[in-house]
Amino acid sequence: MLFRLSMIPAALLMALAGCGNQSPGIPVTLKDHRFAPAEIHVPANQPVLITLSNQDGSAEEFDSTSLKVEKVVPGHETGNVRIRPLAPGRYPFMGEYHAETAQGVVVAE
């Protein structure tokens, strides 16, 4: 019941946004608090989806002020990180909870 109810706003929002125009997503994994690949190349000027698979046991927050993203991905889960259309350039990101090792950069070109 709850599931069915929750579908209504979801369907509405999808209709509003005209979803379904997104590519399948660029897989990135996090293991031992390191991103692989740590340098992610994306096409400039179009939205991109990164599917972040957290293979560590603890949660991580994908954090980037330049990408305007803060996304928590619990341990052993996969999270969608949506990247807005970017001007060509380098956009650093980090795993906030393990910033010593969890560093990466999105390169839009």
Partner 1 sequence: MLAALVIVFREVIEAGLIVGIVLAATKGVRWRGRWVGLGVGGGVTGACLVAAFAGEIANLFAGSGQELFNASTLALAVLMLTWHNVWMAGHGREMAKHMQSVGSAVSAGDRPLAALAVVVGVAVLREGSEVVLFLYGIGQSTSPLAMLTGGMLGLAAGVAMSALMYFGLLAIPPGKLFRTTAWLITLLAAGMAAQAVLFLQNAGYLNVLTRSLWDTSWLLPDGGEGWRGIAGKMLHTLVGYTAAPDGAQLVAYLLTIAAIFGLMRWERSRHPRGEAVPTPA
Least distance CB 44 / partner 1 (angstroms): 13
Least distance CB 100 / partner 1 (angstroms): 7
Nearest CA to 67 out of 84, 80, 42 is that of 84
Edge to edge, what strands does the sheet with 26-31 contain? 34-36, 26-31, 48-54, 78-83
Residue 98's SS3 state is helix
For partner 1, the closer of residues 41 and 82 by Cβ is: 82
Rounded distance between C-alpha atoms, residue 65 and residue 100, angstroms: 17
Least distance CB 105 / partner 1 (angstroms): 14
Kindly list the residues in this chain that would bind partner 1 in the complex (CB under 8 A): 6, 10, 13-14, 16-17, 19, 22, 47, 57-61, 63, 65-66, 68-69, 71-75, 77, 79-80, 82, 84-85, 96-97, 99-100
